[in-house]
Amino acid sequence: MRILVVEDNPDLRRQLADALSQSGYAVDLASDGEDGHFLGDTEPYDAVILDLGLPKMDGVTVLERWREDGRDFPVLILTARDRWSEKVAGFDAGADDYLTKPFITEELLARLRALLRRATGHSAAALECGVLRVDTRSARATVKGAPIKLTAHEYRVLSYLMHHQGRVVPRTELVEHIYDQDFDRDSNTIEVFIGRLRKKIGSERIQTERGLGYRLINPDADGHLG
């Protein structure tokens, strides 16, 4: 899952980038409203963490323009402002959640996980597909309760497929959502990650739809355990 952080405080920006990366997310950063608006308008993010007090363009304006342009990704507003009127302005602009500075990083991560689950139609913190389970809190996966050792990119691919299980996910979409903006992207590596995942979770769980992409299914429902 790919997250955009728009925050002008360099220390907080670094802190958020580190925490999100360690939690298994691909992260892009912007330090002002203009850059943040441009990235959100041109890149496919799963969620955005947006400060309100930004230089060049304030956060409410950024959010309003995104929503006017049809950008519907979940947005968590971060701000030092705690007056109720400013919270209302943020929600009215299209925010999905609100966190006032200073905040506990674990709470931010929990709120972000909840936004991502709701956006993809899930309610529980642990995503399940038969005996395959991904705990988004710990960024770990298990099959029949046995832990699976995954690289960072393997986890991102699996997490994205788990959030969108049952749907055909094009290879280009996976590339856009598991790499940050500065990464040297190669769509051919997706096949490598898919091959590794099949060996670890069961080959029948990830179907290849030729010319379309990949679909994560639950073969356990038919009595075929991977």
| Residue 138, SS3 per DSSP | coil
Residue 205 vs residues 1, 135, 156, 169, 198: alpha-carbon distances, Å: 20, 18, 16, 14, 7
Quick one: which H or E segment has residue 206? strand 206-209
Average pLDDT over residues 29-41: 97
Helix extents (H) in 164-187 = 171-178
The confidence band for 223, taking pLDDT boundaries of 50, 70 and 90, is very low
Q: How many domains does the chain have?
A: 2
For the chain, give the mean pLDDT: 90
**pTM for the predicted model, two decimal places:** 0.84
Which domain range does residue 189 map to? Answer: 126-222
Please check whether residues 74 and 175 belong to one and the same domain: no
According to the model, what pLDDT value does residue 82 have? 67
Does the structure show a pLDDT above 90 at 58? yes
Residue-level pLDDT at 183: 67
Query: Can you give the CATH number for the domain in which 23 is found?
Result: 3.40.50.2300
Residues 115 and 96 sit within 8 Å (Cβ to Cβ): yes
CA-to-CA distance for 32 and 9, rounded, in angstroms?
10
138 and 106 in a common domain = no
How do residues 129-138 score in pLDDT, each as one tens digit? 999 999 988 8
Query: Using CA atoms, how far apart are residues 34 and 57, in angstroms rounded to an integer?
Result: 6
Residues 11 and 92 grouped into a single domain = yes
If asked whether residues 107 and 197 sit together in one domain, one would say no
Q: Is 143 in contact with 201 (CB distance < 8 Å)?
A: yes
* Cβ contact 166:217 at 8 Å: yes
Do residues 63 and 155 share a domain? no
Of 58, 92, 119, which marks where a domain is finished?
Answer: 119
Range with the poorest average pLDDT among 100-109, 119-128, 179-188 = 179-188
**Range name among 22-31, 74-83, 182-191 with the lowest pLDDT average:** 182-191
Residue 176 has pLDDT above 80, yes or no: yes
Q: What is the pLDDT of residue 221?
A: 66
